């Protein structure tokens, strides 16, 4: 069991995942948590990261920091998605290695796996085929992070482990329509349409791709599980092992939000990967399993959205 007084640095602690990890650790009695905003420490700046780690001397680092976004953002800013994510993780991993941090937990994404890999996605499928073009820049950065942690684990026998979450959603999510992922974007679109005489909601693609979604508090629990246990392998999938079509997701969100208008599918827009279901048997075998079911998680997320609606820009009720 990890010492509750151990100094734990959560990179990206203000983000959806990082803040959920912070809440989980705090609730379990961890009393020495460290965070720094992007204004305080620019994680893309190696010297700034080195100075921060040397000064704070964390015993454990959780890397929940990343430049993230949906299909549109990945497509429009490929250089930033590849370069900035590599800079962030390289700086943190190298600083952790050189200061002999006892444990490093790296968070990636299910998009590291090949576009047409067999389903469900096993950890062994990494680098067996080509990536999904709509997010390959982000995926390549995350793959390099996984391999760096594996290299340190193999060469120096250090406890560096990578967790690959499926699609995450939840409280503190990003609801900006230009950069958000599919689930929070749908929540906002249905909510705004509901307040606009239940106007029709236009959604990207055909609605046929299958997707898996994990509530962020479950992801946080998986990270804490990895923190409190020495995991025997270098790479683990984290998800529910269950998926549904984007059309079914849309009707579920529509029902929870209370929108009664039409849903229009714009099939001129890309669908992305046809299916992306995680094989989570390795984590299940160790004793971790998700707790929050999809409808409950969406309801919690929508409640949080309503409580924080004044903070979201560009919501225009006509």
Binding site membership: which residues? 12-18, 107-110, 142, 165-168, 181, 189, 204, 211, 271
Residue 58, sorted as left (phi over 0), alpha (psi -120 to 50) or beta, turns out to be beta
By the 10 Å C-beta count (0-12 exposed, 13-18 middle, 19+ buried), 73 is classed as: buried
What residue numbers does the annotated binding site for substrate cover?
Answer: 189, 204, 211, 271
Q: Does residue 138 carry a catalytic annotation?
A: yes
Please provide the DSSP assignment of 149-168 as one string.
HHHHHHHH--EEEEEEE-EE
9, 30, 113, 138: which one is catalytic? 138
Q: For residue 117, give every residue at least 6 positions away whose Cβ sits within 8 Å of its Cβ, in sequence order, or none.
A: 125, 128, 129
Q: Which residue stretches of the chain are H helix?
A: 16-27, 46-56, 71-76, 78-98, 136-156, 182-194, 216-228, 246-257, 281-286, 294-307
| Residues identified as active-site | 138
């Amino acid at each position: 069991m990890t010492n509750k007084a151990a100094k734990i640095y959560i990179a990206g602690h203000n983000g959806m995942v990082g803040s959920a990890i912070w809440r989980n650790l705090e609730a379990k009695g961890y009393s020495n948590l460290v965070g720094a905003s992007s204004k305080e420490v620019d994680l893309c700046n190696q010297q700034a990261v080195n100075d921060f780690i040397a000064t704070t001397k964390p015993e454990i680092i959780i890397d929940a920091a990343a430049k993230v976004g949906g299909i549109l953002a990945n497509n429009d800013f490929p250089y930033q998605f590849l370069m900035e994510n590599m800079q962030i993780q390289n700086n943190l991993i190298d600083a952790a290695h050189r200061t002999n941090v006892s444990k490093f937990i790296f968070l990636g994404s299910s998009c590291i796996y090949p576009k047409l890999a067999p389903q469900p996605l096993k950890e062994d499928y990494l680098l067996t085929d080509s990536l999904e073009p709509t997010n390959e820049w982000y995926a390549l950065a995350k793959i390099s992070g996984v391999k760096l942690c594996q290299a340190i684990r193999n060469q120096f026998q250090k406890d560096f482990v990578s967790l690959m979450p499926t699609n995450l959603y939840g409280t503190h999510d990003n609801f900006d329509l230009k950069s958000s992922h599919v689930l929070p974007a749908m929540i906002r679109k249905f909510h705004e349409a509901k307040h606009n005489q239940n106007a029709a909601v236009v959604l990207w693609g055909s609605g046929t791709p299958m997707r898996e979604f994990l509530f962020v508090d479950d992801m946080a629990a998986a990270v804490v599980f990895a923190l409190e246990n020495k995991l025997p392998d270098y790479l683990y999938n984290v998800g529910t092992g269950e998926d549904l079509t984007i059309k079914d997701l849309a009707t579920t969100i529509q029902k929870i939000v209370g929108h009664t208008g039409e849903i229009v599918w714009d099939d001129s827009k890309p669908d992305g990967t046809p299916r992306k279901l995680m094989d989570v048997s390795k984590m299940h075998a160790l004793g971790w399993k998700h707790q929050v079911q999809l409808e409950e998680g969406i309801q919690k997320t929508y409640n949080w959205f309503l409580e924080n609606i004044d903070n979201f820009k560009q919501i225009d009720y006509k």
